[in-house]
Amino acid sequence: MTETRANITVIEGVRPPLPWPQRFAGLIQSAFLIVIAVIALIPIIAILLGTFQDGGSLIRSGISFAIDFGSFDLDSYRVLFTDSGDYFLWFWNSLWLTAVQVVLTLLVSSFVSYGLAMYEFRGKQVVFVAVLIVMTVPFEMLMLPLYMQVNDFDLADTFTVIWLPFLAHAMTIFFFRQYFLGVPYELVEAGRVDGVSEFGIFFRLVLPIAKPAIAAMAILNGMMCWNNFLWPLLVLRSSEKFVLPIGLNALLTPHGNNYDLLIVGAFFSLVPILLLFLAFQRYFIEGMTAGAVKG
């Protein structure tokens, strides 16, 4: 089926070519994004190349792309897999603590956000303002009183203290609230009419349409948890309970520096975050955009 409009033949199902100004603008945009992607990948490529070089000489001369590939070796990988000490223990601690903290933070924060978005109760605006205030307070200001509270509850040097204080995360609560404000309230009312419980409405009706927001917050919270350094450094004292950032920092001591393990270990610490992003990338941009415009 064809039809002629203004001397242009349009074939159904075939997209007409774009005018050359739009094609040129698209090429410029693509080239710009490629340049930004290359710039973002330079540190990762640099540290990857550094894993094949001697750690001591690398620290002395720095990372350079003018590299003699004939001097590459696998000594750093041999150190990691045969003489890494507690590296894999630290890696495992970070891995499961990040998984637990992300899941529980998303669950608790989404509960709070759902209540702020869908229910009317006395003091609702006060709670929301408190969330906004907490978002503006640097963690360094809360660190000392939180540490004193942890000692009062005898939770220091335990894994629980890593994730427990951050389950109701202010930024995550704010993001989810903005997203839930865009969920039609008629959907909630329809669930109640059908006899679905409040938890059933949340888990069976609301959460399935909030996948983009969940994916976006999973990535952001996963990055924060995985890279968390200051708080675990303050509350953990046993080396077997160290998370990966603290463990890598412990390799640098006044008595000797294990640069070989530090460099290759730092590179492998990127892998979980890259996998997390690749797993949720299809939802990430959609979720960030939706969270910015809802409500």
Q: Where are the alpha helices (DSSP H) in the chain?
A: 20-50, 55-61, 75-82, 87-118, 124-136, 139-152, 160-163, 170-180, 185-193, 198-200, 211-226, 230-235, 244-250, 259-268, 271-293
Q: For 46-82, how does the pLDDT look when each residue is reduced to its tens digit (9 = 90+)?
A: 888 878 877 667 777 666 666 666 667 787 788 787 7
* 16 within domain boundaries: no
> Which whole number is the average pLDDT over 198-226?
89
Which pLDDT value is given to residue 188? 87
**In whole numbers, what is the pLDDT of the chain averaged over residues?**
82
* 115 within domain boundaries: yes
Q: Is the pLDDT of residue 292 over 80?
A: no
- Work out the pLDDT band at 109, boundaries 50, 70, 90: very high
Which pLDDT value is given to residue 177? 92
Structural domain tally of the chain? Answer: 1
Instruction: Pick the closest to residue 131 from 149, 113, 107 (CA basis).
Output: 113
* 51 within domain boundaries: no
Range of the domain at 236: 86-258+270-293
How buried is residue 77: exposed, middle or buried, by Cβ count under 10 Å (0-12/13-18/19+)?
middle
- Work out the pLDDT band at 152, boundaries 50, 70, 90: confident
Which pLDDT value is given to residue 100? 93
Residues whose CB falls within 8 Å of the CB of residue 172, separated by 6 or more in sequence, listed in order:
105, 106, 109, 110, 113, 217, 220, 221
d(CA 188, CA 201): 6
Which pLDDT value is given to residue 93? 93
d(CA 158, CA 77): 31
Residue with tokens 């750690």: 55
DSSP state of 95: H
Distances (CA, A) of 207 to 3, 34, 41, 198: 46, 35, 34, 12
Q: For 260-272, how does the pLDDT look when each residue is reduced to its tens digit (9 = 90+)?
A: 788 888 888 888 8
How buried is residue 20: exposed, middle or buried, by Cβ count under 10 Å (0-12/13-18/19+)?
exposed
Distances (CA, A) of 270 to 33, 47, 170, 211, 225: 22, 10, 26, 25, 13
Q: Is the pLDDT of residue 4 over 70?
A: no
Find the angle CA(146)-CA(87)-CA(280) to the nearest 5 degrees: 70
3-class secondary structure, 150: helix
Contact criterion met (CB below 8 Å) for 272 and 92: no
- Work out the pLDDT band at 113, boundaries 50, 70, 90: very high
* 2 within domain boundaries: no
* 42 within domain boundaries: no
Which pLDDT value is given to residue 3? 46
* 250 within domain boundaries: yes
Contact criterion met (CB below 8 Å) for 221 and 101: yes
Which pLDDT value is given to residue 6? 46
Q: Considering only residues 101 and 83, tell me which one the structure prediction assigns the higher pLDDT.
A: 101
Q: Is the pLDDT of residue 284 over 70?
A: no
Q: For 156-198, how does the pLDDT look when each residue is reduced to its tens digit (9 = 90+)?
A: 888 988 888 888 899 999 999 988 988 888 888 888 888 888 8
Which pLDDT value is given to residue 41? 85
* 71 within domain boundaries: no
Which pLDDT value is given to residue 68? 65
Q: Considering only residues 126 and 65, tell me which one the structure prediction assigns the higher pLDDT.
A: 126
Residues whose CB falls within 8 Å of the CB of residue 90, separated by 6 or more in sequence, listed in order:
242, 243, 244, 246, 247, 248
* 1 within domain boundaries: no
- Percent above pLDDT 70 for the chain: 83
Contact criterion met (CB below 8 Å) for 75 and 99: no
Which pLDDT value is given to residue 52? 81
CATH number for position 211? 1.10.3720.10
d(CA 246, CA 243): 6
Q: Is the pLDDT of residue 138 over 60?
A: yes
Q: For 24-48, how does the pLDDT look when each residue is reduced to its tens digit (9 = 90+)?
A: 788 888 899 899 988 888 888 888 8
Q: Which of 41-55, 107-121, 133-147, 199-213 has the lowest mean pLDDT?
A: 41-55
